[in-house]
Amino acid sequence: MKILGIETSCDETALAIIEVENQDEPSFKTLGTVIHSQIEEHKPFGGVMPILAKREHARNLVPLLNSLLEKTDLKREEAVEISSEQKTKITEILARENDLVGVFLQFISTVSKPDIDMLAVTSGPGLEPALWVGISFAKALSYVWNIPLMPTNHMEGHIVSVLKEGQNLRNFAFPAVALLISGGHTELVLVKNWGEYELIGQTRDDAVGEAFDKVARLLGLPYPGGPEISRLAKIAREENLTSGEIKLPRPMLHTKDFDFSFAGLKTAVLYLTEDLKKENKLDDNTRKIIAREFEDAATEVLFKKTKLALEQFGASTIIIGGGVIANATIRNKFAELEKENITVLIPEMSATTDNALMIAIAGYMKSRRILPVICPDIKAEGNLRLS
Which residues would be at the binding site for ligand KG4 (CB under 6 A)? 10, 182-184, 209, 212-213, 224-227, 230, 322-324, 326-327, 353-354
Which residues, 6+ apart, have CB-to-CB distance to 40 below 8 Å?
none
Question: 32 or 184, CB closer to ligand KG4?
Answer: 184
Distance CA(288)–CA(285), nearest Å, equals 5
Question: 116 or 330, CB closer to Zn ion?
Answer: 330
CA distances to 48, 250, 344 from 32, rounded to whole Å, are 27, 42, 26
Question: 296 or 354, CB closer to Zn ion?
Answer: 354
> Could you tell which of ligand KG4, Zn ion, none binds residue 251, using a CB distance below 5 to 8 A set by kind?
none
Rule CB under 5 A: which of 326-355 touch Zn ion?
354
Q: Does 186 bind Zn ion (CB under 5 A)?
A: no
> Could you tell which of Zn ion, ligand KG4, none binds residue 134, using a CB distance below 5 to 8 A set by kind?
none
Q: Which of 96, 29, 106 is nearest to 65 (CA)?
A: 106
Q: Does 210 bind Zn ion (CB under 5 A)?
A: no
Question: 123 or 230, CB closer to ligand KG4?
Answer: 230
Specify whether the CB–CB gap between 190 and 183 falls below 8 A.
no
Question: 182 or 299, CB closer to Zn ion?
Answer: 182
Distance CA(209)–CA(114), nearest Å, equals 38
> Could you tell which of ligand KG4, Zn ion, none binds residue 33, using a CB distance below 5 to 8 A set by kind?
none
Residues 348-387: x where in contact with Zn ion by CB under 5 A, - otherwise, as a string: ------x---------------------------------
Q: Shortest approach of ligand KG4 to residue 359 CB, angstroms?
A: 12
# binding residues, Zn ion (CB under 5 A): 2
Specify whether the CB–CB gap between 25 and 196 falls below 8 A.
no
Q: Shortest approach of ligand KG4 to residue 192 CB, angstroms?
A: 24
Q: Shortest approach of Zn ion to residue 242 CB, angstroms?
A: 35
Q: Shortest approach of ligand KG4 to residue 277 CB, angstroms?
A: 23
Q: Does 11 bind Zn ion (CB under 5 A)?
A: no
Q: Shortest approach of Zn ion to residue 180 CB, angstroms?
A: 8
Identity of residue 238: E
Question: 152 or 182, CB closer to Zn ion?
Answer: 182
Q: Does 8 bind Zn ion (CB under 5 A)?
A: no
* Burial (CB count within 10 angstroms: exposed 0-12, middle 13-18, buried 19+), residue 199: middle
Q: Shortest approach of ligand KG4 to residue 357 CB, angstroms?
A: 13
> Could you tell which of Zn ion, ligand KG4, none binds residue 326, using a CB distance below 5 to 8 A set by kind?
ligand KG4
Q: Does 136 bind Zn ion (CB under 5 A)?
A: no
Q: Binding residues for Zn ion, per CB under 5 A?
A: 182, 354
